[in-house]
Structure 1
Amino acid sequence: MTEDGGRVGVRGLTKRFGPVAAVSDLSFDAPPGAVTGFLGPNGSGKTTTLRMILGLVAPTAGEARINGVPFAALQRPARVVGAVLEAQGFHPARTGRRHLLACAAAVGVPDAAVDVGLGAVGLIDAADRAVGGYSLGMQQRLALAVAMLGDPQVLILDEPGNGLDPEGIAWMRSFLRGFAARGGTVLVSSHLLGEIEQTADHLVVVSRGRCVYQGGLDQLRASRRARVLVRCADPGGLARALATAGIVEIDTLPDGRLGVADADAVRVGDVALAAGVAVHGLVEETIDLEQLFFQLTTGAWRG
């Protein structure tokens, strides 16, 4: 890996399949030294986008570049990009080592890269076992070892946590963050929102083929004002008292509670006490990535 890693840039990327627009005018960057989480509901165009970045699908319009050039123009692509997009077609009778040796020959890297790759993904002890006896999680690690053979600058991964147990997911998180810390670029699609929340430095969220958010998780949280959720004996009376106190961003939730923005729990409690409204529950809302994702992808975002 070069010290400054690689950069993935997508500009105006569009892909139509007949009348269906799988991806529409999509633009984003995945910078070096960071894990970029690529999120979106099923059918939002994530896999199609990754395939266009890797030159496997031709865009209808726009472009995707890696280190400033299309994938097809990379002179030694395995030295620049490693990718795992879907379940691999492993021969069940072939050992993990022999599979990697065949892949190393195909991409033009020395056999010595095989043991490096096996060690990187923790499969040294299983290297001489038939892949047919591997668990799904071990097969995911083997696919990642293939991606790492060329010591790439960029990793592009589609749902790499599939089949991994909690220990394996924690290992994957550490692996990806370590790769980024050494200057590499990681673009990872995942439906494991809690895991992306702990792993990614940068988010790209797509819905219906379009980008609905790009930036850091902290910025996303900051753009969504936290609320105080209040259960009380007289919601209408409390809402009027809050408005009189200058607190006007108030929603009535389906369960009857009030959602109060621009005030902390102490302030809301003081207003309720002064107004003589009995409070039965008062909690500051915790905003996690799952809530933010739902709001972004369902059109409920009011940021």
Structure 2
Amino acid sequence: MQDDRTGRITVRELSKRFGAVQAVDGLTFSVEPGAVTGFLGPNGSGKTTTLRMILGLVTPTAGEARINGMRFRELPRPARVVGAVLEAQGFHPARTARAHLLTCAAAIEVPDDAVEHALGTVGLDDAGDRSVGEYSLGMRQRLALAVALLGDPQVLVLDEPGNGLDPEGIAWLRAFLRAFAAQGRSVLISSHLLAEVEQTADHLVVISRGRCVYQGSLAQLQGSRSARVLVRCADPVRLADALAGTGVLEIDTLSDGWLGVAGTDPVHVGDVALGAGVAIYGMVHERVELEQLFFQLTAEPWR
């Protein structure tokens, strides 16, 4: 199999069993170049095992994962193709960040200039001569990312890269990943920070108990679940009847006295209420958030 140089990750019928535990079960998905793909699932759903199989660190029981059409072990210079961060660990506490990166650069045969570029990219250029033992968790996350970037890779595979980052660091990471993907490269990111994934990812792969329960764009997922307009008014019954007269039939009376109206927008609800002579005391366009969708997907029974 030849390197197709696309930066695409393909996972086909990937499975992994540890004794009696089926950690990953027939997983199939792809990660396309030019996009950030969020890889989501509850604890124990098989995310880290899947990432490790993609990177050749765990042997699948069945199926396969390919990058650029090749298994990871077949890539001639893997660090030039894939940069990965699975844990921000493995740093000698007495060694400086710059010294650590120089060692890594020598191992993958890239020039020392790559070290300075990586330090600057992750915002550690002023802290490169400090020992890693003095680094915060967030700084170690940035250093781990710098290691991943040394080979100027086509693909980034990151497991919980936002751990330990402060709000400024998270905003920086979001901008960096989107800019990286905008260059036509591929990003696969696993994270528990669902609100951040919602702002970062173009596509989602959601797994539960080792199986894929959703693969597609975030916009498609949000569009598949109806948003609601929440209304507090003087006469819920009259408003509901008036809305039904316009063809809006998905109306629920909520426990706090508000109406939940699906299949329309706040402007229509307001116009109908005005025409029916019903005073509106409050109205909220309920947004379908990724967190809500995530819990629905991972709680739904398998078919």
- Normalised by the length of structure 2, the TM-score is 0.89
Contact kept, 8 Å, 1:5 with 1:185, in 2: the verdict is no
Corresponding residue of 1:297: 298
Corresponding residue of 2:7: 6
Corresponding residue of 2:135: 134
After TM superposition, give the deviation of residue 290 of structure 1 in Å.
2.0
5+ residue gaps, structure 2, are none
Counterpart-to-counterpart distance in 1, 2:154 and 2:268: 51
Contact kept, 8 Å, 1:5 with 1:154, in 2: the verdict is no
After TM superposition, give the deviation of residue 121 of structure 1 in Å.
1.4
Corresponding residue of 1:268: 269
**Cα 1:21–1:124 shift into 2, 3 Å:** same
The one-character-per-residue Cα deviations of 1:213-260 (angstroms, maximum 9, x if unpaired) are 222222222222221112346655654554454322233445443322
Corresponding residue of 1:223: 224
Query: What's the secondary structure of 2:232's corresponding residue?
Result: strand
In the TM superposition, 1:4-153 aligns within 5 A as 6-153=7-154
Counterpart-to-counterpart distance in 2, 1:75 and 1:122: 30
Contact kept, 8 Å, 2:230 with 2:261, in 1: the verdict is yes
Corresponding residue of 1:190: 191
Counterpart-to-counterpart distance in 1, 2:23 and 2:257: 39
After TM superposition, give the deviation of residue 143 of structure 1 in Å.
0.6
Amino acid at match of 1:175: F
What percentage of aligned pairs have identical amino acids? 74
Contact kept, 8 Å, 2:93 with 2:133, in 1: the verdict is yes
Equivalenced residues, count: 299
Contact kept, 8 Å, 1:9 with 1:30, in 2: the verdict is yes
Q: Which one is further off, 281-290 or 186-195?
A: 281-290
Amino acid at match of 1:8: I
5+ residue gaps, structure 1, are none
**Cα 1:256–1:79 shift into 2, 3 Å:** same
- Normalised by the length of structure 1, the TM-score is 0.89
Contact kept, 8 Å, 2:226 with 2:288, in 1: the verdict is no
The one-character-per-residue Cα deviations of 1:100-120 (angstroms, maximum 9, x if unpaired) are 122122223233322222222
Query: What's the secondary structure of 2:229's corresponding residue?
Result: strand
Counterpart-to-counterpart distance in 2, 1:213 and 1:154: 22
Q: Which one is further off, 101-110 or 135-144?
A: 101-110
Name the Cα RMSD after superposition: 2.4
Say whether 1:155 aligns with 2:156: yes
Amino acid at match of 2:227: A
**Cα 1:298–1:278 shift into 2, 3 Å:** farther
